[in-house]
Structures are given as structure tokens and as C-alpha cells.
A and B are shown apart, each in its own frame.
Chain A
Amino acid sequence: MKKILTIGLYCVSALALVFGLVAVPTRAADHLDAPGLTAPGGDTRLDITDVYAFQSPGNPSNTVLVMGVNPLAGVLNDGTFHSGASYEFKVDSDGDAKEDLTYKVTFSAPDGSLNQSVTLRRVPAKGSGAIIASGMTGEDISIAGGGWVRAGVFDDPFFFDLVGFLNLDFCDPGTNFFTGLNISAIVLEVPSSSLGSSNVGVWARTLFNDQQIDRMARPAINTVFIPNNVFEPAGTEKSQRNAFNGAKPRTDQRDFRGEVVDTLEIFYGSGSATAQALADFLLPDILTVDTSSTAGFPNGRGLADDVIDIELGLVTNGAVTSDCVGNDSTFSGSFPYLAPPN
């Protein structure tokens, strides 16, 4: 139990990272009233909150991919997408951790009503690809070849007792911090046959000025395993979080496996074969999906999957199995599945 207490305390410093992006510059009345250290690159529009991949509930031959950005949309940001950036779903169809297909979404600058035009390109491994859909934010846009894409503001589907986690008091009674909060999301539904294989790997990234700003696949990999992470005493290691966000999955094993093993060994013991095996399961950071299966996480990730409970149990060797918070969003059985904004 003591170990768990310690873990909880160190989680506190991680929150600074979770919410570092929202730091508002403080100004003194003097000459050097510079903003906080958070660089302007800390743009919430490029900050990926979650990635989901699941078989379409209404059409088993389709796969749905979801990328969330803009935490606290409508409160700390206006919920629009960055008109100079691209938002990409990467699909690996042959298991080599390299993309064989990219769905690339770009946006125009918002108009006075915050509407933006949306352009979806399907880009093969080689070549520049073609536009397969275009329309406006807040609308279901049909895709040439089948499927739909929609971008806009939605209820944040993530659920987790963040405060309980910080208070080291998970189940008393358990409150979903994300209730009532919104994100911006891109929801893409395509025929599974167009992904190149029924077993694919998926990740999302944001790109601006040819620089990868963020990437994500499975939930919380960066937060939990990459230094300086929540399980290590604060300040004992130099942060590699930006390096992880800027990296490609294909180099994850080379660059980050040691760090993941280090963290897992806290729970599984030094030299543990399970820790090694888990590290190999977790890296490269790719969400693997059998598109023919309706099973949820870690087969892809469904909107209502309790990924935190599953990951807590996995990472802590069963010491913590739940945050006692379940899904409280009402998802639709049809496209775009996410709940409307609060």
C-alpha cells in the first residue's frame, strides 16, 4: 500500500504536464513581463487528448477512427482546428510499425461563426494521395469510396477520477473529472477493406510546419512510462516527454523500451520477464485493431472502454484495479457516435 501512496504523490507532478498547456502567462507591472515558459507551440488545438479505433456499431464492415484534441474546448479554446496544421490517422497494415496509409485532415481558417472547411486526403505510403472528402465542420461529410468524416466539438468521452487519483483515494465515491467537459474531435468511418488488412495498427499525430507536435495511440503511454513519469521520484530523470511526442513508433523500441521496463520493474521486480514482455506489448505505441472483432481495448479502443481500469491493473501488477469511475456519456449507435457537446 505504501508503494501505491508514493505513486499517488508523484502523480501530482505529472498533472503539471497534463495541464501545463493551459498555463496563462502572468505579467508583472515591470519591463520583463514575459509569458510563462510554455512556448506558443503549446497550442491546445494540436494537443491530442485520446485516440479510439473500433468496429462500427451500425456496420460491421466499417471501422471508426477518432482523434480528440482541444481539452476543455469552449472554455480554454474556441474549439476550432488549426488551419496551418494537419491532423493525421496513420495506419500500419503489415505490422512493421510504419504507416502504409494516412488519412490526413486539414482545415481552413474559421469564419465569423467558427465554421471551417474540412478536407480529407487518403495518402498511400508513396505518393501525395487524393482528396476523398470535403465539407464543413459540424456536418457529416460523405467519403468517396464509402464512409463518413465529421469534425467538431463533442462531449469529452474520456472518464477518469483525476482528483481521486491525486487524493490517493480512488473510490470514495469516485468522480469523473471529465464530466461536462468538451473536446474537439475528428471522427472518421471507412470500409475496413480500405485499410489494407483486417489486422492494422493505428496512431494519430498532429503536424505543423513539418514538425510533429503530438502523437498518440494507446492511452497514457507518455504520461505513465516516459520520464519524468509519475512512478519515479520527481526530478530524478530528465523529461523525455517532448522527445516521445515528436518520435515515430518505429523507433519506440530502440529509444523508449528501457524506460518502460524501468517503470514496470517497480511493480514486477527487477529483471522480471513479465515486465520485459509487457514492454514489448506496449511498444511501439500503436493501437492494434482486429477490425473483424467487436472486442474492445486492448483490441483497438471503444468509446466506453474503461481503459484506465485495464491499464492500472496491468501496470501495477494487479495492486490497483479500478478508479471506481465508469463511462457517463451517452454515445449514439450511429455516426458520429460521440455525444453532442455539453
Chain B
Amino acid sequence: MNKRKSILLLLSVIFIIVASQTYGAASNASDGLPAAQNINGRALANVPPVDVAIKTFQDRLKQNPNDPITYALLANQYIRQARETGDVSGYQRAEEALNESILLLPKYSYASTTLASVYYAQHDFASALDLAQAEYDKNSNNTQALVIVADVQLALGNYQEAETIYLQLSDLGATPPLLARLAALEELKGNPEGGLTLMRRAAGDALQSGGTKEGVAWYILRVADMNFNMGQYDQAGGYYEAALRVFDNYPLALAGLGKVSASQGRYDEAIAYYQQAINIVPQPEYLAALGDLYTITDRPDQAQLQYETVETIGTLAALNEQVYNRSLANFYSDHDMKPKDALRLALAELESRKDIYGYDAAAWAQYKNGNYDEAQTLIEQAMRLGTRDARLYFHAGMIAHALGQDQQARENLEQALAINPHFSIFDSATARQTLEKLQATAGK
């Protein structure tokens, strides 16, 4: 009897140990995000092609042109079309449809809130803020309007205001969309590890809670982006591939894989990824990266073609200029092209919003124009949150170098390479060469 009891006791101790170990293993991965290779997203929802939905809603409006709901539904499909194709004119069509909807039904808050998000997508931040705030003031249950207010504040560089709202909203429920925003804030505030932890949790929760393939793939993509920005290329590659498995032909993930391949010197592979991404959505950043890859593999004609397309897209229409002016300024600066245009674009953008990347674009353009003191004042503003972004440190290092501040230059360039050794196809090499020169000088 005693023997039986002691066996039972022993068994229960073993059970407790095993159970606690199992539990311990589970809690180590408590963010719920599976290893990249185990993600497939097969249970997530497919969405029919955008053209099908647009035609359906257009046909409905032919039958009943006084239907504000269908106008709003159509607007959402135009937004989706703009996102899927990169053709920003979709936002204008969305705006028109939403204005029709609101004209038919002025109190239709869903249409007004969607319109605020369209203003935001068009980088008309003042209109987005006014409208979203007005909608939230009318109805404090309209949290979608409130999150647009916060997103606009973030885009404008009013980080404290944005954070206050995100935290207020996450008190109602720390859902993946809010966790993703808080993660981005941590990244901005110089805490990439904390940001990654939050983002992994957001992605794990998103996978757990279902939804559309594209919607969930975005969260996994952001985990990969954060890994990449921290120089964790294998993890980044794994999660970009996972995002691609979840959502076929996801252009953001294809471009991410291009970035990872380029960082590891696999240029032909990188070129193939970027070509695939550009075939789906010709984003100026992808075209610029593809041009750089052609340059580094000694194909200047093909590079030139990509660079010209960047300019074409950036200046195609007034709305393109509004949406892509910062990208274009950075593109010019990065490629030692049109420094005066770069500066004009960057300073105009800084007038309308004073976020850290606006200061960075202006600083980099000033540097390329030889205005090093102005550049330094601006880059200090860009680094005011302590963001651990290799590109910011690289710019700060090069500016300090131009001003003869060797120690500061060395420290910044070392930081840039420590954070993300392959942050850019060309600039990482420039950082390394400049640093070697500085170290040689210091050694003399």
C-alpha cells in the first residue's frame, strides 16, 4: 500500500515536472507566432479579385444611383485597387465615390470615416485629421475615426499625441492592429527589441484570429521588416517567405526577399524578386532598389531605365507628387541626382509635417547640396527619439564627417553598421569605406 502510494507520488512529481517543462516551452513562445517554416495560412480567407467587386457595385449603382451604401462599398474597392496596383488614382476615385455617398446621406459616418482614411492615404494630413476628429467627436464609439487621428498625428511627427491615443484604444482591447502600431512606436523610440516583441505578438494573434490572407500576411511581413532592420537576415528571410506562403504573390514580401538576397550578395536572385514585385506594383522604392542592383552588377542601361521610371511615377500627376515627394527627394539624394530638386521637395514636405523621416530627408538633401551645418541641425531633429535606424546613423555620420567631426562621424558610422550591416546596397559600403578612412586617420 505504502509502496503503491509512493509510486503514485513519484508519478505525480514526474507529471508535474514534465508538465511544467512543457508549459515552460510553450511560454517561451508565448507571443504565439509559430516558427516561420510552420506558417502557411491555409485556413485564412480568400478574397475574389478587386475587378469583380468593382463591377458588381458599379452595376448596382446603375440600377439604383441613389444608394449611399453601395457608393461606400465601391469606394473601399477603389482603395483596395490603389493598394494592389500602386496606382494612386484609385484614391481619387474612392474620394469621388465617398463624396457621392455623403451627398446622398450626410450623416453616414462610415463613409465620412473612410473618406478621412482616403485623405490620409493621399497624404492630405490636414483634411484627414479634421474629418477624423470631427467624426470621433460626433460618436466616441467610432474608434476607427480615432485611430485615423492617431495615425495622422504619427505621420505629422506628433508622437506623444499618437501614443496617448493608441494606449487609450488598447485599453479597450490590445488587438493586432493596435499592437502593430505600438510596435512601430517602440521601433521609433529606439527600442527595436520591444517593438519586435509586440509585433510578433500582433502577428501571432492575427494568425490565430483568422481573417483575409492579405490582412494576416501584412503582420508577418512587419515582423520580417523589423528583423531585417535589426540585421537579423535569416529570420527576416524566413518570415518574408512565410508572408508569401500566406498570400500568393504578395509584392511587399517579394521586395523584402529582394532586400534579404541583396544583403547577402545574391544579386541575381534579388533582381528576380524585385522584378516580380514590380510587375505587380511598381513602387518607386522597388524600382530604385532594382536600379541599384543593375548598377552593382554592371548593367548601367537597365539601371537607368529603372531610375527614369522612379521619376516618372513620382511626377506623373499632382497626386503622385503629393504621395511620393519624400521618396523622390530621397531617391535623388541617394543617387547624387538633382540636388536642388531634392532639397526643394524635402523642405516643402517638412513644411507640412515634421516627423523624424521628414527631418532626415531634409538633412540628407542639405548634405548633398553641401550645406553641412543645416544638415546637422536637421539630422539632430531626425534622431530626437533615439530611433535605432542604420540609415539615420549613416546620414549623421556622413554629415559629421563633412564637418570634420571625426569622432562623431566614427561613432555614428559604427552604430549604423552595428545596427544593420547591410542596410543599403551602396550606402553600407560607403559607411564601411568612410569608417576605414577615419580609423586610419585616427590611428596615425
Please report A residues at the B interface, Cβ cutoff 8 Å: 9, 12-13, 15-16, 19-20, 22-32, 34-46, 72, 74-78, 80, 82-85, 109-110, 162-163, 166-167, 175, 177, 180, 208-209, 228, 234-235, 237-239
Partner of A16, one of B110, B176, B206: B110
**Which residues of B33-74 are within 8 A (CB) of A?**
42-43, 45-48, 52-53, 56-57, 60, 64, 66-69, 72-73
- Which single residue of chain A is at the shortest CB-CB distance from B52? A75
Given contacts A43-B45, A83-B42, A84-B210, contact A26 B215 (CB under 8 A): no
B138 within 8 A of A: yes
Number of interface residues of B (CB under 8 A): 69
Which secondary structure dominates where chain A touches chain B? loop
B175 within 8 A of A: yes
Residues of chain B lying within 8 A (CB to CB) of residue A42: 211
- Which single residue of chain A is at the shortest CB-CB distance from B146? A37
Residues of chain B lying within 8 A (CB to CB) of residue A37: 143-144, 147, 169, 175, 177-178
CB distance from B216 to the nearest CB of A (A): 6
Contact A12 B211 (CB under 8 A): no
Given contacts A26-B79, A77-B47, A235-B141, contact A208 B210 (CB under 8 A): yes
Residues of chain A lying within 8 A (CB to CB) of residue B218: 25, 34-35
- Which single residue of chain A is at the shortest CB-CB distance from B114? A23
Contact A9 B141 (CB under 8 A): no
Partner of B109, one of A12, A82, A167, A238: A12
Residues of chain B lying within 8 A (CB to CB) of residue A208: 209-210
Q: Cα distance A162–B110 when bound, in Å?
A: 14
Q: Cα distance A44–B211 when bound, in Å?
A: 8
B140 within 8 A of A: yes
Interface CB pairs A-B, < 8 A, 15 = A23-B114, A26-B83, A26-B118, A35-B218, A38-B177, A42-B211, A46-B210, A76-B47, A77-B46, A163-B67, A180-B60, A209-B208, A234-B139, A234-B142, A235-B140
Q: Cα distance A227–B233 when bound, in Å?
A: 48
Contact B155 A16 (CB under 8 A): no
Contact A34 B184 (CB under 8 A): yes
- Which single residue of chain A is at the shortest CB-CB distance from B211? A40
Residues of chain A lying within 8 A (CB to CB) of residue B180: 34-35
Given contacts A16-B113, A24-B77, contact A32 B64 (CB under 8 A): no
Contact A22 B105 (CB under 8 A): no
Q: Cα distance A229–B261 when bound, in Å?
A: 53
Q: Mark B201-226, 1 if CB is under 8 A from A, else 0.
A: 00000101111100110110000000
B426 within 8 A of A: no
CB distance from A131 to the nearest CB of B (A): 21
B154 within 8 A of A: yes
Residues of chain B lying within 8 A (CB to CB) of residue A235: 138-142
Contact B76 A15 (CB under 8 A): no
Contact B45 A45 (CB under 8 A): yes
B151 within 8 A of A: yes
B327 within 8 A of A: yes
Residues of chain B lying within 8 A (CB to CB) of residue A167: 66, 104-105
- Which single residue of chain B is at the shortest CB-CB distance from A21? B211
Residues of chain B lying within 8 A (CB to CB) of residue A34: 151, 177, 180-181, 184, 218
- Which single residue of chain A is at the shortest CB-CB distance from B67? A163
Q: Cα distance A126–B212 when bound, in Å?
A: 35
Residues of chain A lying within 8 A (CB to CB) of residue B169: 37
B117 within 8 A of A: yes
CB distance from A176 to the nearest CB of B (A): 10
Residues of chain A lying within 8 A (CB to CB) of residue B69: 15, 19, 162-163, 166, 177
Contact B215 A40 (CB under 8 A): yes
Contact A84 B77 (CB under 8 A): no
Given contacts A28-B123, A39-B177, contact A77 B48 (CB under 8 A): yes
Contact B110 A75 (CB under 8 A): no
B324 within 8 A of A: yes
Which secondary structure dominates where chain B touches chain A? helix
Contact B76 A23 (CB under 8 A): yes
CB distance from B108 to the nearest CB of A (A): 5
B120 within 8 A of A: yes
Residues of chain A lying within 8 A (CB to CB) of residue B108: 12, 15, 166
Q: Cα distance A162–B104 when bound, in Å?
A: 13
Q: Cα distance A235–B47 when bound, in Å?
A: 32
Given contacts A22-B73, A76-B53, A163-B66, contact A16 B109 (CB under 8 A): yes
Contact B43 A84 (CB under 8 A): yes
**Which residues of B1-51 are within 8 A (CB) of A?**
42-43, 45-48
CB distance from B314 to the nearest CB of A (A): 11
Contact A22 B120 (CB under 8 A): no
Given contacts A22-B76, A25-B215, A235-B142, contact A36 B120 (CB under 8 A): no
Contact A36 B144 (CB under 8 A): yes
Residues of chain A lying within 8 A (CB to CB) of residue B178: 37
Q: Cα distance A85–B208 when bound, in Å?
A: 11
Residues of chain B lying within 8 A (CB to CB) of residue A22: 73, 76
B272 within 8 A of A: no
Given contacts A40-B211, A77-B47, contact A163 B118 (CB under 8 A): no
Contact B120 A28 (CB under 8 A): yes
Given contacts A30-B357, A163-B66, contact A40 B48 (CB under 8 A): no
- Which single residue of chain A is at the shortest CB-CB distance from B72? A19
Q: Cα distance A41–B45 when bound, in Å?
A: 11
Contact A9 B107 (CB under 8 A): yes
Residues of chain B lying within 8 A (CB to CB) of residue A36: 117, 144, 147, 177
B167 within 8 A of A: no
Contact A78 B209 (CB under 8 A): no
CB distance from A170 to the nearest CB of B (A): 14
Partner of A75, one of B42, B56, B151, B155: B56
Residues of chain B lying within 8 A (CB to CB) of residue A80: 45-46
CB distance from A243 to the nearest CB of B (A): 11
**Which residues of B334-368 are within 8 A (CB) of A?**
357
B323 within 8 A of A: yes
B121 within 8 A of A: yes
B432 within 8 A of A: no
Partner of B209, one of A12, A40, A110, A237: A40
Besides A35-B180, A36-B144, A77-B47, 10 more A-B contacts (Cβ < 8 Å) are A12-B110, A26-B79, A28-B121, A28-B123, A34-B218, A38-B177, A80-B45, A166-B68, A228-B141, A235-B142
B93 within 8 A of A: no
Contact A16 B215 (CB under 8 A): no
Residues of chain A lying within 8 A (CB to CB) of residue B77: 24
Q: Cα distance A19–B209 when bound, in Å?
A: 19
Q: Cα distance A78–B206 when bound, in Å?
A: 20
Q: Cα distance A30–B156 when bound, in Å?
A: 11
CB distance from A337 to the nearest CB of B (A): 25
Given contacts A34-B181, A84-B43, contact A16 B144 (CB under 8 A): yes
Contact A234 B324 (CB under 8 A): no
Given contacts A41-B209, A234-B138, contact A83 B43 (CB under 8 A): yes
Given contacts A39-B177, A209-B208, contact A30 B155 (CB under 8 A): yes
CB distance from B424 to the nearest CB of A (A): 16
B189 within 8 A of A: no
